[in-house]
Structure 1
């Protein structure tokens, strides 16, 4: 009886192994034949208008894989034929905009998948003012706030990727109380930002600073009292001066 049980177990195990080995090629074949599509929209970061750029996908070795040109009407683009489980570098190319690079890690799947990814591009036009989306400072302070790196990281990469672009940092004060104090505060804020970019490898010669004595007329302090815990902080702009 014991011999029969042992024989049965060995036979059953062998059948399971054969079944698994037979099933694995099917899985591998499915993954090899599977493609992933990435689609989305490209918008001007300043105006939020749709724009036309080349969206280029390259593999980890830097080889160009596929590209698409976004539609001028809605900024839409679509690329397909990408492999699951792979990491791709996406490069945005267009003379009127800063070059930009991103990475996309695709899911490891055996089914056809569509992924949505939108991009904001910065206009490369002399005099263009690109606002910091969130202030990197606290009210009445010139030292970069905690977490400022996350706010500035995108523009830092932009300066590194576009080494021929020079900018002017424009900081505005939080109120109109004292013009002399405001000039010093905004100069110190601009210097703090320049130092941050220099530490990231951006030459300080590419960056100038402009102080301000009065609040930003485009984004002034609110007339009504702000909600509890919220305080107005003067605007920060990165202005293209040369490219």
Structure 2
């Protein structure tokens, strides 16, 4: 999935700089060689930093994101442009169960595909299909009716609405999948460029839901597309390098 673990995991394990603690003044910060890090029974050689804030007796220990992630078999990369640390599993599996469709051969409307995804946070299996595509004046009318504060699409672009069916077939026991259509499912242009996130309210029902195993949801996702882009594509479950995922036509044949 897009923008993979740059939030939750990094927040938990990132070695923070002193400026991060602006909300609470630091009383003391030091390398603590009395604390060791073990992963799966093996000692990881890395520096441990203990930070004590003013008014606090106990300190908080911080470890390098790279050291911990790599010890767990993950890949760590620095996205300098967006100032993000990106962590992905080296053995991340996003192999479609339904074969025959790909980036160069996206599935037609009303075609069901199934994908299994495994990342550092969870493993899950999804069934998905694109039911309907609406764009142009009709889409703009629906977007206007959805929220009076929605703006017209930028010059040279128009709205594209995708009605998508999404079912969570399987997930780690007791876990929940939080679906946000335009975040989890990307629109890619016919010449291979990801479209930016669209800041507009989609018509009801929106493709947003919190799903447990076996639950499903169908709703609208809203995108902005170039008017001259006749054959954009939708994709779910890509790896960070852009490979894998299940691909669908975002247009009518």
TM range (shorter): under 0.3
The structure with the largest helix share of the pair is 1
TM-score (norm 2): 0.23
Q: Which has the larger radius of gyration?
A: 1
